[in-house]
Structure 1
Amino acid sequence: MVWAGCAVAAALMAAVTDLGPHRLWGLCATGGYAVAAALAAGAPPPRRRAAPFVAVAGAVVVPMVWLIAHRQGQLEVDVVHRSGALLLSTGGPYLPEPERIEDYHPYLPAMALFGLPHALLGDSPLADARWWFALVFCLALGVAARTVAGRCAPGGLAVMAAFPLPALALATGGVDLPVTALMCLALATAATGRPVATGLAAGAAAAMKWTAWPVLVVAPVLLAARRSGRAAAGACAVAATVLAGLIVPSVLVSPGAFVEQVLLYPLGAGRVASPAASPLPGHLIAALLPGGRPIALALLALAAVAVALSLAARPPRTLLVAADRLALALVLAVCLAPATRFGYLLMPVTIAAWFRLQSRSREPAPRARSRGAEPWTGRAGSGAAGRSVPVPAGPGCGARRSRCDGSRGAKGA
């Protein structure tokens, strides 16, 4: 039933869009989803399990390969390619005097790293940034799943990649994909009490887009609840170091261009109007009300304060609760930003869904991960014989304090 719904959504996209790459994606994805729906509905169990992989082939692999081979895609791909070349030649990814939409790089400097293969190898299909977006997306999600469960279910990864929002991004653009996956990795490492890895993942994501900055708060709060405040402070220090190393050099090269392209343009206040204009509340307020942009920005700031207060009053103690809290923050940001797109919802949808797909997998987790509290639920795991394993309590917890905290915090999360 899910794949049938995806087929309908892809067919509607092909019918209503005036963008060539999106139309091609819709046509290819409709066929892939339809075959996946047929397999899931009436095929024997072995073939039924192939449905997600058939959906990935039709919704991701075929349109992505065709579009890359024909040098077609969203504008953001060309922007990242040019930014990689600028980063090599000038030390910063921003044009000093942007005059057209194509001249703007509305991302933080680390996003330009995905354009380096194109800058080094030239206009080759193998150097297209979409390959690298997809690679980081899959690797980071896989590592996140293995961090909390000891394995990454291939079927779960296929379902996630084949869902229309990620699939469309993989085929046509993809700048939000690595950012989203790194946020998932930051949450996973925080849930398992790894401050250095949390700081590296959160800092790398935040150095690509402003929209990733909520993870700089949610992940340390989760880490503090699962392990200690000292571990959370260490993660923050690592993230700050990563941010400074990836952002400050480019800002020093062209501070004016940074302010125009990264601060003003995404807020709809740049010299060139942003094309991000989906009819969500923030954009409608900014466009239709007198003085609407300051009102929308004030609502955005109030939403950020409300999320911060909720984290302080009721800190998440399990992975799923933290993922939901981060997803909520991102939904509020997408809905209240003056310049926004429905496609940005890819980030909260992926974050809220990924760990649930893994936790509901029927594949048994390795014994090493079956003891103690599950980091995503805080419940006691199962032993090799299926018996419930009690979660240790008191001073005997020692190095496994994060799991003890997770068990005690499950009721309050």
Structure 2
Amino acid sequence: MQLLMAPARGEAARPVRVAAWDLVFYLGCFAFALGTALASEFYGYRIWGNFAVAGYGLAAAYSAWLTISARRGMQTNGKFSSRWIGIGAVVVLAMCAPLLMLVIRRLTGTDWLITPFSWAAQPEVWVIERSADLLLRHGTPYVDIAALGRAPEVNDYTPYGPVMTVFGLPRALFGGSPVLNALTDARWMFALAAVLCAYASWRLLNRPRIPVFAAQLAIACPLTALTWAVAGPDLAIVGLLVLTFALAAADRPGWSGFVLALVISAKLIVAPAAAVLAVFVYRRARGGNPWAATGRFAAALAAATIALHLPVYLANPAAFTEHVIRFPLGMGAVRSPAASPLPGHLIAQAGPAGTAISLVLVGVAAVAMLIWLARRPPATGSAALTRTAVGLGALILLTPATRYGYLVYPLVLLGAALTFRASGPTARPPRNGRADATSS
């Protein structure tokens, strides 16, 4: 009798545990938002924090109500018992509302000032919009640092690949009046790209049920919500990156390589994903010829990357090298301001020896990732995304110059991995008929 009752008790306790987890998650997010609202030096961050306090506070209060109801065994109305209500509160109050206010506030004109306490958009927004204007006028999105006639400053740099310029084209082409400037703010373009990529990936996976925990990691996490409101390019890039894995999982290696070329040609930080995707495409190939599938992936990746970079490089090789390669590596005429207190940066603070140690640790992490890929090649999209999240997370944590905001990449990728897993098995059955023990 006791054995029969134990599973029932476990099932009864599950709603309590789930609601309690939601409560802890949203309370942690609430604390982050409150600290940001009170202490951040950036105007946009503080505005986001004030809105986000309301969004996370409402989600936490709702989760507390669900927890109490579950503990008391109360039956809640189906319309008001969904955990997605908390996600909705975050999307409306911590993402859309602050973005709208900051877009309007930006019309008062605070771009290009060295005054973080007045920025309604982070510098990457203005820089990307400027890059589009430069591309249309001069054939290159990069400022010629050597021709400035003055000492360069950090805002002169565009540390992105040429594809990132696309998000600034609407402003460059149609901006000019307050209404058009508001409608063509690059943040709308970043948000639209992220949403469309997420939707396309979901369709490619045959519309799986999205776990709430996956949405909490990928959408409701403060790093995602904050990035959505004040900047946004990283969300567009990680959205495209998820799409590359969805295309590979849907047996479209050529398209996967092409989209990955777009991603790498926008931001080089995601280049390590190419190794994971190549192994995944080889492992997954259903046509019986994994080398052919991997070849299509590699050919599309290489051809598109060259086609996207070469014209811009030839327009001004020195400017391209300075902006895209030297500046992100800390070797430019101006040092990158990326200096969040993550392990790699803290180690590098010890001087040249510390920088060397940090770079060695990055190398060790890269070798460890390659060994992991070789010994346990991913056979599902979920496994491939998990490996990419771990690899990018290690790179972000250990590199000497970094920002904590980049951690949005592994968080979104882990959330996507949970959704890929919910879509069901996607690996090709092993030829020997045995279960694959390496795909998790």
What's the TM-score bracket when you normalise by the shorter of the two chains?
0.7 to 0.9
- Give the letter aligned to residue 88 of structure 2: F
Shift of 1:5: 2.2
| Aligned equivalents of 1:410, 1:10: Cα separation in 2 | 43
Label 1:406 to 1:341 Cα distance change in 2 as closer, same or farther (>3 A).
farther
The aligned counterpart of 1:248 is 310
| Aligned equivalents of 1:408, 1:181: Cα separation in 2 | 34
Aligned pair 1:305/2:367, yes or no? Answer: yes
Q: Do the aligned residues in 1 keep the contact of 2:214 with 2:414 (CA within 8 Å)?
A: no
Q: Pick from 98, 106, 130 the counterpart of residue 82 of structure 1.
A: 130
The aligned counterpart of 1:92 is 140
Q: Pick from 199, 205, 230 the counterpart of residue 257 of structure 2.
A: 199
Q: Pick from 342, 347, 369 the counterpart of residue 285 of structure 1.
A: 347
Q: Do the aligned residues in 2 keep the contact of 1:147 with 1:189 (CA within 8 Å)?
A: yes
Shift of 1:136: 0.9
| Aligned equivalents of 1:247, 1:233: Cα separation in 2 | 21
| Aligned equivalents of 1:268, 1:406: Cα separation in 2 | 50
Shift of 1:219: 1.1
Label 1:135 to 1:405 Cα distance change in 2 as closer, same or farther (>3 A).
farther
Aligned pair 1:333/2:359, yes or no? Answer: no
| Aligned equivalents of 2:435, 2:394: Cα separation in 1 | 26
Report the 3-state secondary structure (helix = DSSP H, G, I; strand = E; otherwise coil) of the residue aligned with 1:288.
Answer: coil
Shift of 1:88: 1.0
The aligned counterpart of 1:16 is 39
Q: What does the per-residue CA deviation read over 1:15-49, in whole Å, with 9 as the maximum and x for residues that have no partner?
A: 22111100110110110111122223326442243
Label 1:157 to 1:303 Cα distance change in 2 as closer, same or farther (>3 A).
closer
Measured on the aligned residues, the alpha-carbon RMSD in Å equals 2.3
Q: What does the per-residue CA deviation read over 1:235-293, in whole Å, with 9 as the maximum and x for residues that have no partner?
A: 11111122112111111112111222221211222111211001222222322133433
Shift of 1:341: 0.8
| Aligned equivalents of 2:361, 2:43: Cα separation in 1 | 36
Q: Do the aligned residues in 2 keep the contact of 1:53 with 1:158 (CA within 8 Å)?
A: no
The aligned counterpart of 1:398 is none
Shift of 1:409: 5.7
Label 1:141 to 1:243 Cα distance change in 2 as closer, same or farther (>3 A).
same
Q: Do the aligned residues in 2 keep the contact of 1:318 with 1:410 (CA within 8 Å)?
A: no
Q: What does the per-residue CA deviation read over 1:175-230, in whole Å, with 9 as the maximum and x for residues that have no partner?
A: 11111111111112212321122112211111111111012111121111011222
Aligned pair 1:239/2:239, yes or no? Answer: no
TM-score (ref. length: structure 2): 0.80
Q: How does 1:5-404 map to 2 (within 5 A)?
A: 5-42=28-65, 44=76, 45-49=78-82, 50-71=85-106, 72-97=120-145, 99-123=152-176, 124-151=181-208, 153=210, 159=216, 160-227=218-285, 228-357=290-419, 359=421, 374-375=425-426, 402=428
Q: Do the aligned residues in 2 keep the contact of 1:41 with 1:48 (CA within 8 Å)?
A: no
| Aligned equivalents of 1:25, 1:403: Cα separation in 2 | 47
TM-score (ref. length: structure 1): 0.85
Label 1:68 to 1:406 Cα distance change in 2 as closer, same or farther (>3 A).
farther
The runs of 5 or more residues in structure 2 that have no matched partner are 1-22, 67-75, 107-119
Q: Do the aligned residues in 2 keep the contact of 1:33 with 1:59 (CA within 8 Å)?
A: yes
Label 1:272 to 1:321 Cα distance change in 2 as closer, same or farther (>3 A).
same
The aligned counterpart of 2:9 is none
Shift of 1:324: 1.2
- Structure whose alpha-carbon radius of gyration is higher: 2
| Aligned equivalents of 1:326, 1:158: Cα separation in 2 | 18
Q: Do the aligned residues in 1 keep the contact of 2:59 with 2:89 (CA within 8 Å)?
A: yes
Q: Do the aligned residues in 2 keep the contact of 1:282 with 1:296 (CA within 8 Å)?
A: yes
Label 1:292 to 1:145 Cα distance change in 2 as closer, same or farther (>3 A).
same
| Aligned equivalents of 1:125, 1:152: Cα separation in 2 | 35
- Give the letter aligned to residue 214 of structure 1: P
| Aligned equivalents of 2:433, 2:340: Cα separation in 1 | 42
| Aligned equivalents of 1:28, 1:115: Cα separation in 2 | 26
Label 1:314 to 1:191 Cα distance change in 2 as closer, same or farther (>3 A).
same
Shift of 1:319: 1.7
Shift of 1:294: 3.8
Q: What does the per-residue CA deviation read over 1:45-88, in whole Å, with 9 as the maximum and x for residues that have no partner?
A: 42243221121101101000000111111111000010010111
- Give the letter aligned to residue 95 of structure 1: V
| Aligned equivalents of 2:346, 2:127: Cα separation in 1 | 27
Pairs aligned (count): 377
- Give the letter aligned to residue 79 of structure 2: P
Shift of 1:350: 0.6
